[in-house]
Amino acid sequence: MSLLFSMKGIVKHFPTSRGVVHAVDGVDLEIERGEVLGLVGESGCGKSSLARLAVRIYEPDAGCIELDGVDITHLDQAGLRSHRTRVQMIFQDPFASLNPRSTIGRILEEPLIVHQRGSSTERRERVRWLMDKVGLRPEAAGRFPHEFSGGQRQRIGIARALALSPDLIICDEPVSALDVSVRAQVINLLDRLRDEFSMSYLFISHDLSVVEHVADRIAVMYLGKIVEFADRRSLWRAPLHPYTRALLASVPSPVAGVARKPVPMRLVEPPSPLAPPSGCRFHTRCPYAQDPCRSVVPKLGTLDGTKRQVACHLVDSEEPEFPAPNF
Ligand code: SF4
């Protein structure tokens, strides 16, 4: 696989009347061609801001975004138009993201019109093809969004994202608004489309059990920072960061009758991104916190002999003054 997309040192703060929200604070991530990178974390940790930075809805305060080795951080309007044909987004609420006054056919044709793709006959044919690809009857192209179920509306959102044959789709909580019974169908659809078209996804969810089904690698985000990167299997079997461990502890064990090891953590309200804690941002909730955790920011270090990265003093071999983890 080759590198498709990268974000380096991305920072995004939002000034508000109550102070500055530290939404994203120095995030690095890379997505290979054909890879699904899962991004998990609680609500408010900065995942959706990162998604909007990736498609350049938001402008980063600092950092660099590259697509296929080309710096796209400060594209002008013309450059952004071309970028958006290659990086598309699927939103959490399919109903809110679809124009209620447009037919599905019109909604799916619109990106083709905007980007001047094909004749009107070719565009109509493309719309029928897109609907078929996502499991909708092409004859329904004349219907409006409110005439579809939640799962069908998300299929429409997926078809719209596919319209311009992008290389990367940013999936921002694509199944969290759906009934449990429909989630698996949409996840299976995304999986099938990825295989068929060799696409890459940045798949964002607050639910590790959802990400576990689709991602090759997983990044765990806490209060604007990535705290752990690992391939899916390693993360699932042996989470290293105490926050990842706590997230996983709330997910049912994949082995029937075998409970996960309990984590002594009080899942109280997370701190406000208006005033992130000093040192390790997780120290106010971490059962393993030591004094230095309150003042020294842990680096996202790579574990010897692996591709795993963790930002925790207890698992950083270069921080010998910390006691061995008692996990
Ligand atoms: Fe917990 Fe300290 Fe590790 Fe942060 S650095 S996760 S507070 S042990």
Work out the average pLDDT over 85-93: 91
CATH of 3-215, one of 3.40.50.300, 3.80.30.20, 3.40.50.970, 3.40.50.460: 3.40.50.300
**242 CA: nearest ligand 1 atom:** 6
Strands (E), 17-132: 19-32, 36-40, 62-67, 70-71, 87-90
**292 CA: nearest ligand 1 atom:** 2
**From 2-11, 180-189, 271-280, 308-317, the region with the lowest mean pLDDT:** 308-317
The 8-class DSSP code of residue 305 comes to T
**298 CA: nearest ligand 1 atom:** 5
Give the sign of the dihedral formed by CA 102, CA 201, CA 183, CA 224.
Answer: negative
From 220, 290, 296, give the residue whose CB has the most ligand 1 atoms within 8 Å, as the site to mutate: 290
Ligand 1 center from residue 32 Cα (angstroms)? 29
Distance CA 304, CA 316 (A): 10
- pTM score of the predicted model: 0.90
Nearest in space to 264 (alpha carbons), one of 242, 235, 283, 295: 242
Ligand 1 center from residue 258 Cα (angstroms)? 27
Other CB atoms closer than 10 Å to residue 177's CB: what's the count?
Answer: 18
The b-or-e profile of 186-196 (16+ CB within 10 A means b, else e) is: bbebbeebbee
Q: How confident is the model at residue 132 (pLDDT cuts 50, 70, 90)?
A: very high
Burial-class residue 219 by CB neighbours within 10 Å (0-12, 13-18, 19+): buried
Residue closest via CA to ligand 1's atom 5 equals 312
- Give the binding-site residues of ligand 1, using a 6 Å CB cut-off: 241-242, 280, 282-283, 286, 288-289, 293, 298, 312-314
Residue closest via CA to ligand 1's atom 6 equals 312
**Per-residue pLDDT tens digits for 40-64:** 999 889 999 999 999 999 999 999 9
From 243, 263, 286, 300, give the residue whose CB has the most ligand 1 atoms within 8 Å, as the site to mutate: 286
pLDDT above 80 for 36? yes
Distance CA 85, CA 80 (A): 9
Ligand 1 center from residue 181 Cα (angstroms)? 37
Mean pLDDT of the chain: 89
Q: Per-domain residue ranges for the chain?
A: 3-215
**Per-residue pLDDT tens digits for 221-277:** 999 999 999 999 999 888 999 999 988 887 766 555 555 665 656 556 788 889 999
| Cα separation values, 176 from 55, 94, 199, Å | 20, 11, 22
